[in-house]
Amino acid sequence: MDAPCAVTYQLFPEIEQPNRSGRLRVSELHELYWEECGNPQGVPVVYLHGGPGEGAEPSKRRFWDPDHYRIVLFDQRGALRSTPLAETRDNTTQHLIDDLERLREHLGVERWLLTAGSWGTTLALAYGEAHPERCLGFLLRGIFLGTADEVHWYLHGMRRFFPRAYEDFVSWIPEDRRDAALDAYLERLLGEDPQARLDAARAWVRYSASCSLLRHDPEGVEAQAADEQTTLGMAVLDAWYFKHQLFLEEDQLIQGLAPIRQLPCYLVQGGHDMIATPNSAYQLHKAWPGSVLKIVNDAGHAPTEPGTTSALIEATERFKRDGRFA
């Protein structure tokens, strides 16, 4: 594991507008929003957001030195500014892997640094294992490996630490169906009643947001749940991917590491992360010789917690020196 860092790193200044942005048609149904910031001649880095329906909001532009990095952000299928919003048709992990390759080719990038959080770490590993020759390395935060145990923990295990949030999460579901909460949510989230869909989406997002931070932020939870566009994308696609086991075989990502195991890898993990628990980060670290594991003791799941923000930016600064994290 990595030793504690004495320096606190801060976000880079706000970037008001990207250098360029656009929309990429990836199928007859789906169109992705993408943008580039920073140095057009710099080291390419692509950010894979969580969810998978969360989207890459503008605040994510600030984690990399814009003088050094060519920063690529995009919204995955069904997320935020991509269209159609919250669409589950033709939306699987393999589709997203193919989308990344289309985007890379569209932008003329030869190889890029994969930076990701939460579900994004799942996608980053799956993409890397499919296209190792296109990767410079991996900076992963809040590791989620897409196993049945992790999905069950999210849906049922977190109630041991967040009983009130869990009670609110399942309060509308009949007691005899609460063991099948995921199915109950999907029925509403994919149903015909728009108000029922939105109510279920807000309940899902409140649960996730309530469990994300080490220090609970009720106002932040409500602000996140109030945004209809973000809420629908997050809830529908979270539940869709969970129902289908992230479209992965059990333990697929650990078993398939061989093509990328020689590449640089830096893992940032909140020590009190209850959504993507430290166990997954530790298992990945053990399976990846030479990887660096940074445990942030005073943090949960969110990248906005100060210790996690600092650790992520420290890693990007390390990579600037010689393309490694060690």
The catalytic residue positions are 118, 273, 301
* Interatomic CA distance for residues 307 and 271, integer angstroms: 10
Pairing of strands 135-141, 292-296: unpaired
* Interatomic CA distance for residues 199 and 190, integer angstroms: 12
Evaluated on CA atoms 133, 94, 103, 33, the torsion sign reads negative
Count of residues for the chain? 326
Q: Is 125 helix (H, G, I), strand (E, B) or coil?
A: helix
How many C-beta atoms surround the C-beta of residue 281 within 10 A? 28
Contact in structure between 7 and 313 (CB atoms under 8 Å):
no
Q: Nearest-CA neighbor of 121 among 317, 319, 312?
A: 312
Q: Nearest-CA neighbor of 314 among 5, 1, 15?
A: 5
User: What is the biggest distance separating any 2 CA atoms in the chain, rounded to whole angstroms?
Assistant: 58
Bridge partners (DSSP) of residue 70 are 38, 44
* Interatomic CA distance for residues 97 and 131, integer angstroms: 9
CA atoms within 13 A on the CB side of 48: 33
* Interatomic CA distance for residues 59 and 278, integer angstroms: 25
- Secondary-structure breakdown of the chain: helix, strand, coil percentages, each rounded to the nearest 5: 45, 15, 40
- Strand (E) positions, 202-286? 265-270
